[in-house]
Amino acid sequence: MAHVWRMIAQRLALGFLTLFVVSLLIFGATELLPGDFAEAILGQSATPETIAAIRRDLGLDQPFHTRYVSWLGGVLQGDFGNSLANGQPVIELITKRLGNTLFLALYAAAMAVPLSLALGILAALFRNSIFDRMSNALALTSISFPEFFVAYILILWFAQSGMFPSIVRLSEGISFGETLYRCFLPALTLTLVVTAHMMRMTRAAIINLLASPYIEMARLKGMSPIRVILRHALPNALAPIINVVALNLAYLITGVVVVEVVFVYPGLGQLMVDSVSRRDIPVVQAVALIFASAYVLLNLTADVLSTLSNPRLMHRR
C-alpha cells in the first residue's frame, strides 16, 4: 500500500504542475487568438479610442508576462479576480455553474456506467449472438450521431408532447425529484453519447481474456459462463475499463457544451465558450483550471484503481 500512497502523493504534486502548465498554455493561447477583450466586446462597434480606453481601464495594455504574473499571484492567494465582461468576482460566477455541471455529469454517469457495464458483460457473455450484434449496432448508431442531433431526436419524441421540458430551467427551491425530472433529457442525451464507448471497451476487454489458460481452466472445472466472467475475467479486465470510464466521466464534466447549449443548461461549458469568444481571460483561466483538476483527479483515481486491481502492478519491481 505504501507504494500506492507514494504514487498518489507524487501524482498530486505532478497534478499541480499540470495545472500550472495548463494555465500558462491557455493564457498564452488566448493571447495568440486574434483580438483581445476590448475588441471582442465592442465587435463591429469598435473604434481605436474606445478600445484604448478599455485596455487602459482593465490593464490590458500591460505586457503579457506582467498580466500573467499578477493573475498567478492572485490565484495563489485564492483570488481569481473579476470577470472582465461584467465585473463580477469569478468565484461567484463559477460556483453555481460548477454545481450544475457536476450534477448533470453525475446524473448521466449514474445511468450510463451501470448500463454500459451490464450491456458490455452481457454482450461478452452472449458474444456473437443476435443480442450482441443488435445491442452493438444500436449503441454504435447512437454514438455516431452528433450530440445535438441525438438531443433533437429526444426533443422530438419526449418534449414536443410535453412529457419532459425541452429547456432546463433550474429555479430556486425546486425539489430534488423535480430537478431530476427537468434535467432528464440532457442526462439521457449524454447517456446515449457515452454508453457505446464504455460498453464496447468492457466487451472487448473481457473477450480478450476469455482465451487465457486460467479462464480455460475455470471453464473446464465446470463453472457457469456468467460466473467465469464475473469472478475471473472481469477483475483482470478492470484496468482498461476503469480507464475508459474515467475518460468518459471527464468528458461528462468538461465536454458537454453542445448539450448545454441545446437544453439551455447553465453549466461551465457554456461559460467557457462564451468567455473564450469574449477573451474574458480570468473566467477562461478559472474554468480551464476546474476542467484540468477534474481531469487530473479522475485520471489519478483511475490509475490508483487500476493499480489496486492488478497485483503485479502493486508489487512492481
Partner 1 sequence: MTNSINRSAGLSRRSVLRGATALGAAALILPAGMRAASAEPKKGGILRIGMGHGSTSDSLDPGSWDNAYSQVFATSRHNYLTEIDADGALQPEIAESWEASADAATWTFKIRQGVTFHSGKALDAEDVIASINYHRGEDSKSAAKPIVDGITDIKSEGSHTVVVTLDAGNADFPFIMSDYHIAMLPAKDGAIDPTTTDGCGPYVVDHFEAGVEAKMTRNPNYWKSDRAHFDGIELLPIVDGAARQNALISGQVDVIDRVDLNTVHLLKRAPNINVLSVTGSQHYVFPMDSRAAPFSDNNVRMAMKHAIDREELVEKILNGYGSVGNDHPISTANRFHAGDAIEQRTYDADKAKWYLKQAGMDSIDLELSVSDAAFGGAVDAGVLMSEKSAAAGINLKVTREPSDGYWSNVWMKKPFVASYWGGRPTEDWMFSTAYKSGVNWNESFWENARFDELLAAARSELDNDKRREMYVEMQGLVRDEGSTVIPMFASYVMAHTNAVATPEKVAPNWTMDGFRIAERWWFA
Partner 2 sequence: MSTLISILWFAVAVVGAMALGWLFRALVVAVLPQRRAHEMRKAPLTASFGILVILVYVLVAVFAPVIAPFGESEVVGGEFLPWDSTYLLGTDNLGRDMLTRMIYGARNTVGIAFIITALAFFVGTVLGLLAAVVGGWLDQGLSRSVDVLMAIPSLIFSLLLLTIFGTSVLSLVLVIATVDATRVFRLARSVAQGIVVMDYIEAARLRGEGKWRLITREILPNAMAPLVAEFGLRFCFVFLAISGLSFLGLGIQPPTADWGGMVRDNATLITFGDLTPFLPAGAIALLTVAVNFVVDWQLHKSSGLKE
The nearest distance, CB 46 to partner 2, in angstroms, is 18
Residue 75 near residue 67 (C-beta atoms within 8 A): no
**Helix, strand, coil percentages, rounded to 5, for the chain:** 80, 0, 20
Q: DSSP letter at 82? A: B
Q: Apex CA 266: angle with CA 261 and CA 267, to 5°?
A: 90
Residue 200 partner contact from partner 1, partner 2, none using kind-dependent CB cut-offs of 5 to 8 Å: partner 2
Contact map string, positions 233 to 262, toward partner 2, x by CB under 8 A = ------xx--xx--x--x---xx-xx----
Give me 222's grid cell: 465446470
Contact map string, positions 123 to 162, toward partner 2, x by CB under 8 A = ----xx----x--xx--xx-xxxxxxx--xx-xx---x--
The residue whose grid cell reads 453555481 is 96
Q: Is 210 in the site for partner 2 (CB under 8 A)?
A: yes
The residue whose grid cell reads 440532457 is 186
The rounded distance, in Å, linking the Cα atoms of 245 and 258 is 21
Q: Is 301 in the site for partner 2 (CB under 8 A)?
A: no
Q: Is 13 in the site for partner 2 (CB under 8 A)?
A: no
The nearest distance, CB 224 to partner 1, in angstroms, is 49
* Continuous H helices in 255-317: 257-263, 268-278, 281-309, 311-314
The residue among 42 and 102 lying less far from partner 1, judged by its C-beta, is 42
Residue 47 partner contact from partner 1, partner 2, none using kind-dependent CB cut-offs of 5 to 8 Å: partner 1
The residue among 41 and 294 lying less far from partner 1, judged by its C-beta, is 41
The residue among 148 and 214 lying less far from partner 1, judged by its C-beta, is 148
Residue 45 partner contact from partner 2, partner 1, none using kind-dependent CB cut-offs of 5 to 8 Å: partner 1
Residues 6 or more apart in contact with residue 34 via CB below 8 angstroms: none
The rounded distance, in Å, linking the Cα atoms of 317 and 304 is 17
The residue among 200 and 232 lying less far from partner 2, judged by its C-beta, is 200
